[in-house]
Amino acid sequence: MLRLEALAKSFGGFAVVKGCDLEVREGEIVGLIGPNGAGKTTVFNLITSALPLDAGRVWFDDRDITGFPTHRIAQAGLVRTFQVPRLFERLSVIENLMVAGPNQRGERFWSVWLRPGEIAREEKRNEEQAWETLRFLGMERVANDLAATLSGGQKKLLELGRALMARPRMLLLDEPVAGVAPRLIDEIADRIRVLRGRGLTFLVIEHKMDFIMALSDRLYVMADGRVLTEGRPEEVQADQRVLDAYLGVA
Amino acid sequence: MAPYLASLLLFGGIYAMLALGLNLQWGHTGLVNLGFVAFFALGAYSAALLTLNGVPLLVAAVIAVVIAGLVAYPLGRLTLRLQDDYLAIVTFGFAEVVRILLLNTRWVGGADGLTGIPQLFGPLAADVRPFIQLGAVLMVVALVLVLARRLTESPYGRVLRAIRDSAEAARSLGKETEGYKVVALVLGSALAGLAGAIYAHYIGYVSPDQFDPSLTFLIFTGIVIGGSSHWGAAVGTLVFIAAMEATRFLGDVGLPISQSDFAQLRLLVIGLLLIVLMQRKREGLWPYRHRERVRVTRDAAA
């Protein structure tokens, strides 16, 4: 479903990603791990055109989306979350979700003036969808709170929910459980499995090993800008090179 | 007394309109337009030049609004894909360019400006005219307020506020943020142009010193005080400008300090009041409020 071919990126002569090849098949949960500075988040930024890439190609659904503008990639069904949640902090929780609804007529300038009835109906459906998502996340009680007032874990959950509201076919999650309370971690893992059951595909960056090992079908291990190895969790865990990479052995 | 009051209220209406325009750009979309006053000036000068050359007043006002909006368009296109700071820098520079051009161009009157601009409802008798003018201006302000509300309460406005909070997140959810920003910039600037046209046709003359850069910052401060609800922005700006004007006369009532000391003291006091306000009410006195949403479903009935 997602295929990366030889992605490369350097910042002022310093190569951060040196040729990353990776493939995620439809319905898979794939982990992307590696020590700090391995280039994992940069890969996400390259996939979504948050950064321009130096070389390589990105295929989504057998379509070459290399260099597409960020919003077009999201519209194609590939949606990301951020390592540090980037919520709309001064919007309420439910508005954070509602704004993410895809392809809303009410977001077109002329429709606001010309088609008020249609927009009102669309908003009703959109709000219903948002409540559904809040229930899925167990956040109905904070619906009208400002996003800025949420705890770290709730922010992560809300960002996941917001990405879901965009009706993606595949999600790129950047450390979905970093800084999240243990009880919530199981919750998030559980939600991700439910979503996969509904047909979503995942590529997940995470440092929390027990979480990512239990969740992933397969894992890619990155170190120093390259894919070091790929395999099922037990294979990766047994790989001496992975241990070396984490321990800093050259 | 009554005409004086009417004139005060009319100026209030003009400032309110400026506040609504900047609030759309800054309060809702997060665009820092440090050259806002230039669009006010463009509206005023366009309307003045057109009517002085025989264009009917209403037509001139419409063209003035369009000009102010159109000039904002390329500025937005050029800067809004870059980091937020660039818009601030470019608009600030733009406002200076406009001011210096006005000051040094003969056919727009140079430092003397333009005089003899036709009055709104000029043919009416002088004793009723101020009130008719006031009524008309307040109606225009009310209309602008209604339209601005309609826009910001729609899903469109929600995207604007999302962009204000995180343009990157909005893009990652499939919103074409640049287009929204440009529209907000153009609409807000067009409103400044409208305020300018009304201003020119009310006081009858325009000159560069009426469009001092400090006006931009007065309105920013007004919105900070009032908050980013439309009422808050308008009322905050009015209160702030009124306070600035009113304290000007305090120097005359026999305080034992010199006029220039007083002017500086006044800024000091305002600064202190702002600090206190920001500590107590960071979102301003009348912040934007989101609609409370309550779930209406079968489980609510159960």
* CB contact at 8 A, A146 and A90: yes
* Domain-located, residue A58: yes
Nearest-neighbour CA in chain B from A23: distance (Å): 21
Number of domains forming the structure of chain A: 1
Q: With CB atoms and an 8 Å threshold, state whether B172 touches A108.
A: no
* CB contact at 8 A, A180 and A55: no
Q: How far apart are CA B20 and CA B144, in angstroms?
A: 8
pLDDT (0 to 100) of residue B166: 94
Among the listed residues A199, A177, A195, the one whose alpha carbon sits nearest the alpha carbon of residue A186: A177
* Domain-located, residue A158: no
The CATH number linked to A77 is: 3.40.50.300
> Which residues on B lie below 8 Å from A162 (Cβ)?
173
Q: With CB atoms and an 8 Å threshold, state whether B154 touches A91.
A: no
- Pairing state of beta strands A14-24 and A2-11? antiparallel
Among the listed residues A126, A72, A129, A133, the one whose alpha carbon sits nearest the alpha carbon of residue A104: A126
Q: With CB atoms and an 8 Å threshold, state whether A144 touches B292.
A: yes
The phi, psi pair for B296, rounded to 5°, reads: -115, 100
User: How many CB pairs below 8 A link A and B?
Assistant: 108
* B298/A contact by beta carbon, under 8 A: no
* Domain-located, residue A160: no
Give the mean model confidence (pLDDT) for residues A162-184: 92
Q: Within a 10 A sphere around the Cβ of A138, how many other Cβ atoms?
A: 13
Q: With CB atoms and an 8 Å threshold, state whether A144 touches B159.
A: no
B28 dihedral zone (left: phi>0; alpha: psi -120 to 50; beta): alpha
pLDDT score of A237 more than 90: no
Among the listed residues A25, A58, A29, A28, the one whose alpha carbon sits nearest the alpha carbon of residue A43: A58
B290: exposed, middle or buried (C-beta count within 10 Å: 0-12, 13-18, 19+)?
middle
Give the mean model confidence (pLDDT) for residues B65-81: 92
Q: How confident is the model at residue B298 (pLDDT cuts 50, 70, 90)?
A: low
Q: How far apart are CA B38 and CA B268, in angstroms?
A: 27
**What are the structure tokens assigned to A125, written together?**
């459906």
The mean pLDDT value of chain B amounts to 89
pLDDT tens, A96-153? Answer: 999 999 999 999 999 999 999 999 999 999 999 999 999 999 999 999 999 999 988 8
pLDDT (0 to 100) of residue B301: 42
A181 dihedral zone (left: phi>0; alpha: psi -120 to 50; beta): beta
pLDDT tens, B237-265? Answer: 988 888 777 766 665 666 666 767 777 77
pLDDT (0 to 100) of residue A249: 58
pLDDT (0 to 100) of residue B300: 47
Nearest-neighbour CA in chain A from B114: distance (Å): 37
Nearest Cα residue in chain A from B147? A113
CA angle B112, B115, B121 (to 5 degrees): 155
Q: With CB atoms and an 8 Å threshold, state whether A144 touches B176.
A: no
Most A CBs within 10 Å, among B143, B150, B172, B295, to test the A interface: B172
pLDDT (0 to 100) of residue B240: 85
Q: How far apart are CA B267 and CA B271, in angstroms?
A: 6
pLDDT tens, B127-167? Answer: 888 899 999 999 999 999 999 999 999 999 999 999 999 99
Among the listed residues B55, B21, B40, B71, the one whose alpha carbon sits nearest the alpha carbon of residue B198: B40
* Domain-located, residue A125: no
DSSP characters for A30-64? EEEE-STTSSHHHHHHHHTTSS--SEEEEEETTEE
pLDDT tens, A100-115? Answer: 999 999 999 999 999 9
Q: Rounding to the nearest 10 degrees, give the CA dihedral for residues B264, B268, B270, B271.
A: 130
Domain region containing A214 = 2-87+168-182+199-247
Nearest to B154 among A82, A89, A106 (CB): A106
Nearest Cα residue in chain B from A80? B172
pLDDT (0 to 100) of residue A113: 93
pLDDT (0 to 100) of residue A85: 92
Q: With CB atoms and an 8 Å threshold, state whether B154 touches A127.
A: no
pLDDT tens, B89-140? Answer: 999 999 999 999 999 998 888 888 898 898 888 777 778 888 999 999 999 9
pLDDT tens, B24-34? Answer: 999 999 999 99
